[in-house]
């Protein structure tokens, strides 16, 4: 029993916090913002404990492995969870004061699923963890069904339904593919596919079909083209503080799982999945960047931006190298803080401005200079402008892809980064150069302001000194891919 507790200590702690939150709500339902602050503080304690608890090891039969790869992702998910809670405290207290505990509990259960995903080495455990991560997200997406001004349509229920339908479709595709893969290989362990066909001929045709179905299922999870149709609509309709969390943490978990499967298990069969991955990466960069150009709703614009960013991350995975995987981790980590920050600033501006269109956030820098400055920094990071975190993320990804011989996609990515710069600067122009209502100052709650400051600190800090995160990413990637 002690071995299990040591191996899953952090995950047990997160689930225990969720149970504590629900018990607290049962006996003391009217505690204002206290339950949110306590949830954030307890998660901070778990994050601090991750630096002192040595839980490395493996579960029986190797179904779960906890190593540097898992530790890196656990800390990243916990950081995203803490910021997700902080960013939601003020909104929950104002809009759904009687349903705060359920929100935090659902977010924590989803967080536990993400943390387990990074270490899953068995298909059955992986599917269970995926569903543990995904099902609370369906509920949270529709949590603000009465949120927003009375003059605007309530889109949260539609957003939740679209996320649920596409999530169910992705699970169906994944399970169908796994049925073929597991049936042909005779094992549920995520490992090299070397059986199922004649000797020396590689995987059997049914195994190949199964692998492509699994890849398609993962494509839905991370919002890559052509499985991206849920992203802009869900981002537009769901509560903005939740969208901030949804836009980073589940995608990071999906990319981690994709790396485990493709580079750790199926690396010997790259001739099957690599062409499909390259097409998905290129299409995601093209569709995400060009479809973001005409958007007037900032949430939809950031949704298409996220699709493009996933394309860059998939490009790094396609290098099949340790350096490429490490830069994927670096890219994802910087994206977590950047995208959380930009959504939090947008939420703060929209609460006072009455909407999320570019016209509603016009003149934000005059109503709140510090929020306008923070938004500009986050937008520059998403665009990859020196010297903020996003610059190094894109530069390192392109360098690894160039070294791997993916020259065409690198040139395409650089050209599309220029396109991305245009619509990011469109948001910045609305913030700084457009005339807006200067009579209404933006009042940011303490919790939301703290979350924005933390994101700003990491985006600027990693831009000035990326070395510690690069070293941590290299150490984590060594457990999946050996060599350079």
Cα gap 253→55, rounded to integer Å: 20
Residues in contact with 84: Cβ distance below 8 Å, sequence separation at least 6, in sequence order: 107, 241, 242, 244, 245, 249, 340
Position 482 in a domain = no
Position 484 in a domain = no
Rounded to 10 deg, the angle between the 156-185 and 205-222 helix axes is: 160
Mean pLDDT by runs of 10 across the 484 residues of the chain is 74 93 79 86 94 78 86 95 94 83 93 92 91 92 66 70 89 90 85 55 80 90 89 89 93 92 84 91 95 91 94 93 92 95 90 71 83 93 91 94 92 93 90 70 84 95 94 89 61
Position 483 in a domain = no
Say if residues 244 and 87 touch (Cβ distance below 8 Å).
yes
- Give the CA count within 13 Å in the CB-facing half-sphere of 68: 13
The residue range of the domain holding 398 is: 2-477
Single out the residue of 330, 305, 334, 332 nearest to residue 417, CA to CA.
305
Position 438 in a domain = yes
pLDDT tens-digit series, residues 39-57: 999 999 999 999 887 767 7
Which pLDDT score, from 0 to 100, does residue 46 have? 94
Residue 184, helix vs strand vs coil: helix
Q: Nearest 5 degrees, angle CA 201-CA 207-CA 213?
A: 140
Single out the residue of 215, 206, 217, 201 nearest to residue 182, CA to CA.
206
Structure-token pair, residue 262: 């493709």
Q: Nearest 5 degrees, angle CA 289-CA 295-CA 301?
A: 60
How many domains, the chain? Answer: 1
Structure-token pair, residue 429: 């122009």
Position 191 in a domain = yes
| Predicted TM-score (pTM) of this structure | 0.93
Buried b (16+ CB within 10 A) or exposed e, 230-260: bbbbbbbbbbbbbbbbbbbbbbbbbbbbbbb
Any bridge partners for residue 64, and if so which? Answer: 120
Residue 483, helix vs strand vs coil: coil
Which pLDDT score, from 0 to 100, does residue 482 have? 65
User: Would you call 363 exposed, middle or buried from its count of C-beta atoms within 10 A (0-12, 13-18, 19+)?
Assistant: buried
Single out the residue of 168, 112, 163, 171 nearest to residue 140, CA to CA.
163
Which pLDDT score, from 0 to 100, does residue 269 have? 81
């Amino acid at each position: 029993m002690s071995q299990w507790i040591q191996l899953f200590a952090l995950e047990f702690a997160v689930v225990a916090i969720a149970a504590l939150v629900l018990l607290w709500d049962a006996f003391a339902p009217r505690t204002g913002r206290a339950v949110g602050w306590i949830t954030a503080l307890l998660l901070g304690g778990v994050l601090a404990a991750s630096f002192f608890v040595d839980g490395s090891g493996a579960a029986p039969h190797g179904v779960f492995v906890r190593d540097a790869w898992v530790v890196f992702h656990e800390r990243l998910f916990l950081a995203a969870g803490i910021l997700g809670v902080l960013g939601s405290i003020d909104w929950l207290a104002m809009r759904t004061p009687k349903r705060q505990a359920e929100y935090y509990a659902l977010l924590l259960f989803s967080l536990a699923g993400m943390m387990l995903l990074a270490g899953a080495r068995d298909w059955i455990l992986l599917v269970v963890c995926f569903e543990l991560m995904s099902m609370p997200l369906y509920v949270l997406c529709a949590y603000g069904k009465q949120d927003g001004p009375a003059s605007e349509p309530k889109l949260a229920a539609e957003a939740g339904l679209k996320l649920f339908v596409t999530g169910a479709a992705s699970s169906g595709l994944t399970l169908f593919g796994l049925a073929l893969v597991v049936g042909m290989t005779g094992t549920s362990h995520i490992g090299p596919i070397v059986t199922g066909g004649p000797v020396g001929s590689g995987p059997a045709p049914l195994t190949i079909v199964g692998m492509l179905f699994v890849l398609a299922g993962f494509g839905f999870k991370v919002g890559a083209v052509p499985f991206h149709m849920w992203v802009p609509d869900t981002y537009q309709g769901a509560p903005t503080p939740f969208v901030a969390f949804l836009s980073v943490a589940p995608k990071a978990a999906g990319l981690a799982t994709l790396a485990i499967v493709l580079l750790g298990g199926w690396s010997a069969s790259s001739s099957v999945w690599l062409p499909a991955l390259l097409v998905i990466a290129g299409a995601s960069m093209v569709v995400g960047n060009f479809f973001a150009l005409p958007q007037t709703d900032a949430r939809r614009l950031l949704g298409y931006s996220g699709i493009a960013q996933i394309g860059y991350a998939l490009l790094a995975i396609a290098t099949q190298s340790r350096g490429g995987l490490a830069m994927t981790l670096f890219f994802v980590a910087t994206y977590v803080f950047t995208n959380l920050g930009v959504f939090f600033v947008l939420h703060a501006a929209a609460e006072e401005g009455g909407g999320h269109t570019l016209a509603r956030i016009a003149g934000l820098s005059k109503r709140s200079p510090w929020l306008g400055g923070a938004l500009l920094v986050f937008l520059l990071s998403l665009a990859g402008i020196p010297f903020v975190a996003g610059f190094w993320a894109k530069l390192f990804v392109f360098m690894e892809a160039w070294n791997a011989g993916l020259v065409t996609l690198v040139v395409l990515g650089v050209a599309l980064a220029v396109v991305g710069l245009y619509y990011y600067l469109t948001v910045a122009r609305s913030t700084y150069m457009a005339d807006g209502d200067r009579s209404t100052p933006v009042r940011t709650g303490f919790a939301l302001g703290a979350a924005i400051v933390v994101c700003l600190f990491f985006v600027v800090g990693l831009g000035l000194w990326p070395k510690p995160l690069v070293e941590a990413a290299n150490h984590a990637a060594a457990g999946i891919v050996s060599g350079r």
